[in-house]
Amino acid sequence: MKILSPLCSAVFASLLLPGLAVDEVECKKFGEIYADGTQMMEKMWDNAFKVVPTGEPSYEQWWFSSLNPNNDVTELIFGTPAPTNCGLEYYHKPGNATPHDPSPENAAQSECLPWITSSCCDENTVLDTQTIKEAYGKNYEWDRCGPISQGCERFFVQEACLYECDVNAGKYRLCSEDDIANSETKDIGLGYNISCNDNGYGNRWQIYNMPVSKMYADAWYRSCENDSFCAADGGSFFSCALRYENSDAFKQQQQQQPQGDPEIVTEIVTVEEEVPVLPGWAIALIVVGGVAVVAAAGLAVFTNVVVSAEKAGTPMFQPLNPGSAA
């Protein structure tokens, strides 16, 4: 396992998946994220490992013999013996000094057992599976998308043991001491450059292109194919870590938002207008007056009609017997 520096985190911050809210983390099955073991191995670890055809020199991530077979692989690839001190520094025993050469660990180091006779990791770092998973913080826990199968988890443990414990991993350190001193940058095909200065700290932790066999990569893929993993940036462990960091910070910020002053109580006041109640005599007077007004209006209309008819020569009222004298 290698962890992002503050500078790398800042670079990743500009590469977050567009259109996805900061509080969301996309999870998919391994088989949906990666096409095969090669893509999984190289993409998940940001090219820390290079998958080579089975049969070509490659490093073992687990074995059962008393001797480290990776020492022979280093000699075969580089033509020189395996290194005698630990070239990586993070949770490793610090390198470049005799007291920090690989050394035996006691029986407590049962999780990374193949390296018990010669190890660059401290036993407290690799005490058990839980310790390894939590070593770099919850953003780097491999089961953030839910529990994974035991077979899948064993491969994550093996990768961690190789990176933390194997002296040969230092042969693949990305930045040399000269690169660090000169603040060099490296392009390793991720779409951005890696700083060897590492924001003021020498990048002595990152590895690049350590060969592993395709057979091993495919076995890992098959074991995890139906388990779930973060799909950020095509399944990059380090993009996922930043996604979780931002997601957790967003959720924490949301929880800290004030929810309203408990001392302020909002009241809804209903105002009812009182309608005055009139006495009975007043109501009777109003009714009589209304009838009188209606009657007067009707009489006026009727009179107007009668007068108009008289003027037109068609009176509305005539004698009952026009031929008789009074």
The first and second tokens of residue 299, run together, are 């009489």
CA distances 281 to 67, 276, 285, Å, are 119, 15, 6
CB 102 within 8 A of CB 93: yes
- Three-point CA angle 161, 165, 167, nearest 5°: 135
> What is residue 224's predicted lDDT score, i.e. its pLDDT?
98
Task: Examine the pLDDT at 110 and tell me if it is beyond 60.
Answer: yes
> What is residue 259's predicted lDDT score, i.e. its pLDDT?
58
pLDDT confidence band for 101 (50 / 70 / 90): confident
Q: Which segment of 1-5, 43-47, 227-231, 240-244 scores lowest on mean pLDDT? A: 1-5
CB 244 within 8 A of CB 233: no
The number of C-alpha atoms within 13 Å of 267 and in the hemisphere containing its C-beta is 4
> What is residue 199's predicted lDDT score, i.e. its pLDDT?
75
- The predicted-structure confidence for 119-177, as pLDDT tens digits, reads as follows 998 778 888 999 999 999 999 999 999 999 999 999 999 999 999 999 999 999 999 99
Which residues are within 8 A (CB) of 84 and not within 5 positions of it... i.e. 6 or more apart? 101, 102, 167
For residue 213, the cross-strand partners are 52
Q: Which residue has the higher pLDDT, 271 or 37?
A: 37
Task: Examine the pLDDT at 54 and tell me if it is beyond 90.
Answer: yes
Q: How far apart are CA 226 and CA 140, in angstroms?
A: 20
Q: Mean of the pLDDT values across residues 48-75?
A: 96
pTM to 2 decimal places: 0.71
pLDDT confidence band for 269 (50 / 70 / 90): very low
Query: With pLDDT > 70 as the criterion, what percentage of the chain qualifies?
Result: 67
- The predicted-structure confidence for 270-292, as pLDDT tens digits, reads as follows 444 454 555 655 555 555 555 55
Strands (E) located in the chain: 27-29, 49-52, 185-187, 193-195, 210-213, 228-230
CB 85 within 8 A of CB 100: yes
